[in-house]
């Protein structure tokens, strides 16, 4: 065996060992230490505090659909809880805006880690490289509400199984040692498992979570009230990557990082999701939306037009108007949200006023189990109130299609079994349940927010002792 061959023979295994250490062992050691961080800014240090007699555990799971949780509940998991209800997410159905609404956090800058700051005319946020091993960025969203952040960064989407036990052990230890009255935890690995491993792997993980909650309750040494919910669903179908840039450039528009001309657009590329945010001139929005309506995989796009919102699908357009807490849906061509029969019934039963506006609560009751749950309020909110820098155009994809960074997704994620972000029910319907109070079959983010707000008011006395069980 010559010396050159020996060197190659030793170098290859050496590189493999270094890779294993760098991408599995060291990240797990780092993650274990990182799980000790406390993000919960409002609370004072509890190092010297006496342990409370009762603890409210608020446990947020990322990307767990209602149907799967309901299936597990019927199989006998999550004993001690009342039956789960659906929890309809925001639009886009993404973690940052959804959990910010539910956990009564601040308003996020953008829908995901990157956003376009229209006041500075540039993309801001943090790059994918910085996010690989880090979830510690400080932003005005739900993160400052957390006592526990069980997510190791985007490396979880490459090696989700490597961090599961570390997160579970870290969570239980933190809760058992906690001395306050309210513990808010976020477990983000569930979404990574959904995207990369699929439905059965997520189901297996949730069975571990069921046991974890039982063990935590038994080992905490205090009475516990639990609120468990997720931010959105996951569709569990193989997904194709959609190229939005090429059709827009062929139509004469220019993909850019700044808006200098009427032809420029900024397309924010975050993770692999079934929605997209586009920033452009308001004058350009209708023509860009028209181009998008012919792109394979695009369900529809929405944009602001004066005091209204236009929904633009393939060969179909409609207008949404809002007056206080009432909405009006007017088809222009076709019916892009498939609301025709519902709106007819609401008008027939006297729910519409003389100008055709219908109260959001009546629309909620009529559309909560629709293919697009609660669509008018969610679309309006997504373009107006959901984030600090809303997109000019929001795109919702059909089932089986998604968008994200080209290289990253074609090599690592595209074709995987799950995604979310669209207005569709399968992407939007998370779950909500408690062990002290039945929940409604269908719920909005404000349902969780109102419950937690009430919990905060009664923080020192626990839920059951102050009558929340019967509310």
Q: Is pLDDT of 411 > 70?
A: no
Compute the distance between CA of residue 457 and CA of residue 308 in angstroms, rounded to an integer. Answer: 38
> Nearest-CA neighbor of 105 among 179, 45, 42?
42
Residue 62 has pLDDT above 80, yes or no: yes
- Greater confidence (164 vs 378) lies with 378
Cα–Cα distances in angstroms (integers) from residue 363 to residues 130, 372, 400, 420, in the given order: 42, 12, 28, 23
Strands 442-443 and 264-268: unpaired
Cβ neighbours of 252 (radius 10 Å): 9
Give 97-123 as a DSSP string. HHHHHHTT-PPPSSSSSEEEETTTTEE
pTM equals: 0.88
Q: What is the pLDDT confidence band of residue 190, given thresholds at 50, 70 and 90?
A: very high
**According to the model, what pLDDT value does residue 467 have?**
41
Nearest Cα to Cα of residue 137 among 59, 44, 34: 34
**Token output for 145:** 């509400």
| E runs forming strands in 272-400 | 275-280, 298-305, 308-313, 316-323, 326-333, 358-359, 393-397
**Contact, 82 vs 431, CB < 8 A?**
no
Residue pair 167/150 in contact by the 8 Å Cβ criterion: yes
Give the confidence band of 220 by pLDDT, cuts at 50, 70, 90.
Answer: confident
Cα–Cα dist 422/372, whole Å: 9
Residue 125: asked if its preceding bond is cis (omega within 30°), the reply is: no
Confidence label for 241 from pLDDT (cuts 50, 70 and 90):
confident
> Could you tell me the pLDDT band of residue 452, with boundaries at 50, 70 and 90?
confident
Instruction: Inform me whether the pLDDT recorded for 369 exceeds 90.
Output: yes
Least confident range of 112-126, 315-329, 361-375, 443-457: 443-457
Q: Which residues contact 211 (CB under 8 A, 6 or more apart)?
A: none
Q: Which two tokens stand for residue 335?
A: 């019916």
Judge contact between 314 and 307, C-beta under 8 A.
Answer: no
Rounded distance between C-alpha atoms, residue 331 and residue 323, angstroms: 18
Residue 72 has pLDDT above 60, yes or no: yes
- pLDDT reported for residue 38: 62
- The CA distance from 148 to 433, in Å, is 20
| Res 53: pLDDT | 81
Question: Residue 270 in 3-state DSSP?
Answer: coil
Give 412 or 237, the one with higher predicted confidence.
Answer: 237
Q: Burial of 78 by CB count in 10 Å (0-12 exposed, 13-18 middle, 19+ buried)?
A: buried
Residues 288 and 302: their CA atoms lie apart, in Å, by 11
Are 84 and 251 contacting, i.e. CB atoms less than 8 angstroms apart?
A: no
Strand partners, 279: 266
Res 305: pLDDT: 96
User: What does the pLDDT read at residue 106?
Assistant: 84
The owner of tokens 């910085």 is 130
Of all residues in the chain, what percent carry a pLDDT higher than 90? 62
pLDDT at 21 over 70: no
Give me the pLDDT at residue 382, please.
98
Residues 289, 310 contacting (CB under 8 angstroms) = yes
215 has a pLDDT exceeding 90: yes
Per the prediction, the chain carries an average pLDDT of 85
Q: What CATH number labels 20-41+53-106+141-237+426-470?
A: 3.40.720
CA–CA dist 171, 154 (Å, integer): 19
Q: Are 328 and 358 in contact (CB under 8 A)?
A: yes
Banded pLDDT at 221 (limits 50, 70, 90): confident
Helix (H) or strand (E) run with residue 347 in it:
helix 340-348
pLDDT value of position 127: 57
Q: What percentage of the chain exceeds 70 in pLDDT?
A: 79
What is the residue extent of each domain of the chain?
20-41+53-106+141-237+426-470, 240-413
pLDDT of residue 140: 72
Task: Grade residue 142 by pLDDT with cuts at 50, 70 and 90.
Answer: confident
pLDDT at 466: 39
Q: What is the pLDDT of residue 393?
A: 98
Looking at residues 391-418, what average pLDDT do you find?
77
Is residue 243 over pLDDT 60? yes
pLDDT tens for residues 311-363? Answer: 999 999 999 999 999 999 999 999 999 999 999 999 999 999 999 999 999 99
Interatomic CA distance for residues 188 and 150, integer angstroms: 6
H or E segment and range at residue 208:
helix 199-219
């Amino acid at each position: 065996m010559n010396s050159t061959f020996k060197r190659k023979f030793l170098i290859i295994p050496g590189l493999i060992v270094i890779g294993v250490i760098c991408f599995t062992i060291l990240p797990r050691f780092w993650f274990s230490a990182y799980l000790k961080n406390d993000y919960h800014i409002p609370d004072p240090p509890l190092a010297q505090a006496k342990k409370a007699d009762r603890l409210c555990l608020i446990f947020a799971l990322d990307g767990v659909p209602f149907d799967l949780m309901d299936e597990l509940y019927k199989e006998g998991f999550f004993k001690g809880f009342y039956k789960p209800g659906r929890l309809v997410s925001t639009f886009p159905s993404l973690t940052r805006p959804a959990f910010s609404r539910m956990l009564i956090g601040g308003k996020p800058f953008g829908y995901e880690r990157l956003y376009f700051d229209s006041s500075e005319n540039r993309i801001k946020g943090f790059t994918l490289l910085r996010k690989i091993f880090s979830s510690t960025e400080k932003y005005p969203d739900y993160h400052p509400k957390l006592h526990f952040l069980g997510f190791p960064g985007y490396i979880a989407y490459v090696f989700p199984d490597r961090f599961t036990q570390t997160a579970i052990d870290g969570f239980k230890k933190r809760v058992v040692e906690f001395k306050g009255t309210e513990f808010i935890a976020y477990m983000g690995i569930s979404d990574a498992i959904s995207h990369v491993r699929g439905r059965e792997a997520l189901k297996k993980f949730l069975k571990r979570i069921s046991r974890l909650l039982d063990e935590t309750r038994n080992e905490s040494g205090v009475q516990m009230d639990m609120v468990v919910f997720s931010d959105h669903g996951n569709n569990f179908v193989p997904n194709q990557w959609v190229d939005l840039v090429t059709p827009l450039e062929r139509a004469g528009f220019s993909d850019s990082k700044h808006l200098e001309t009427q032809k420029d657009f900024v397309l924010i590329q975050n993770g692999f999701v079934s929605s997209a945010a586009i920033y452009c001139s308001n004058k350009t929005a209708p023509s860009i939306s028209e181009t998008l309506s012919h792109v394979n995989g695009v369900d529809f796009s929405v944009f602001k037009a004066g005091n209204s919102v236009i929904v633009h699908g393939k060969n179909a357009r409609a207008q949404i108007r809002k007056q206080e807490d009432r909405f009006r849906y007017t088809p222009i061509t076709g019916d892009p949200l498939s609301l025709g029969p519902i709106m007819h019934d609401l008008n027939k039963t006297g729910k519409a006023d003389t100008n055709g506006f219908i109260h959001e609560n009546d629309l909620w009751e009529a559309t909560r189990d629709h293919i697009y749950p609660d669509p008018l309020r969610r679309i309006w909110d997504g373009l107006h109130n959901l984030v600090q820098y809303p997109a000019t155009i929001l795109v919702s994809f059909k089932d089986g299609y998604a968008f994200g960074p080209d290289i990253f997704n074609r090599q690592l994620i595209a074709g995987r079994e799950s995604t979310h972000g669209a207005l569709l029910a399968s992407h939007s319907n998370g779950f909500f349940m408690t062990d002290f109070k039945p929940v409604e079959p269908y719920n909005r983010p404000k349902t969780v927010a109102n419950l937690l707000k009430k919990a905060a008011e009664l923080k020192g006395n626990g839920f059951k002792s102050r009558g929340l069980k019967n509310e």
